[in-house]
Chain A
Amino acid sequence: NAGVMQNPRHLVRRRGQEARLRCSPMKGHSHVYWYRQLPEEGLKFMVYLQKENIIDESGMPKERFSAEFPKEGPSILRIQQVVRGDSAAYFCASSPREGYNEQFFGPGTRLTVL
């Protein structure tokens, strides 16, 4: 199965802890997007990365959130010092090249902050 993979599927953290969400894009895809979905809402763009580069982070909160997509390995979305408002489903999507509008989503990571 060459689909987008995300792990963990569920993550529980206490306030103040760190959350690390991982995303492996589809085989052959080098562009990764992260989105956040709050209950009964649509997905909201957070950040767009290509290998080793952050291209657009206009949707990501300035503090506590960071993302990377190293040369080797999955893309990581990192949330430091989590707060209850960070509880949401986080999805990553991948596409094969720049300007390709169809994005393919992973199953998501459901983050719960206690």
Chain B
Amino acid sequence: GQQLNQSPQSMFIQEGEDVSMNCTSSSIFNTWLWYKQDPGEGPVLLIALYKAGELTSNGRLTAQFGITRKDSFLNISASIPSDVGIYFCAGPTGANSKLTFGKGITLSVRP
């Protein structure tokens, strides 16, 4: 089946720094979704991307839909402590829009 690859598993940054994370696949996706999960909670949708090459922002977050449709990037600028969490990329698979998720990147922000 389709797989989404996210690495590294963990990232550690200083408060105020920018961070970039990517998600790759061997298969084409027509939609890319980025979610954030806080401990003990469900994933929260951050950004949805629908067109190859699309660049979309949501506050300090910016995400891009790769031109090949096999990758996507999420950038967080001027990080703050509440950015701590697990960031997942996801994409719909098949006719029923069931989502395939990457394994996630755990972000830690040092004050």
Name A residues whose Cβ lies closer than 8 Å to a Cβ of B. 4, 6, 33, 35, 40-45, 48, 55-56, 58-59, 91, 93, 95, 98-108, 110
Contact = CB atoms under 8 A, between A and B. Distances in A.
28 contacts: A6-B42, A33-B99, A35-B101, A42-B90, A42-B102, A43-B43, A43-B88, A43-B101, A45-B93, A45-B98, A45-B99, A45-B100, A48-B96, A48-B97, A56-B96, A56-B98, A91-B42, A91-B43, A93-B99, A99-B97, A100-B97, A101-B97, A103-B33, A103-B99, A105-B45, A107-B40, A108-B40, A110-B40
Contact of B92 (A40, A58, A101, A104): A101
Nearest to B4: A42
Given A56-B96, A105-B42, A107-B41, 7 more contacts: A33-B98, A40-B9, A42-B101, A42-B103, A48-B98, A101-B31, A104-B45
A14 B52 CA distance: 48
A109 to B, nearest CB: 10
B66 interface: no
Contacts, number: 69
Interface of B: 4, 9, 31, 33, 35, 40-45, 48, 88, 90, 92-94, 96-104
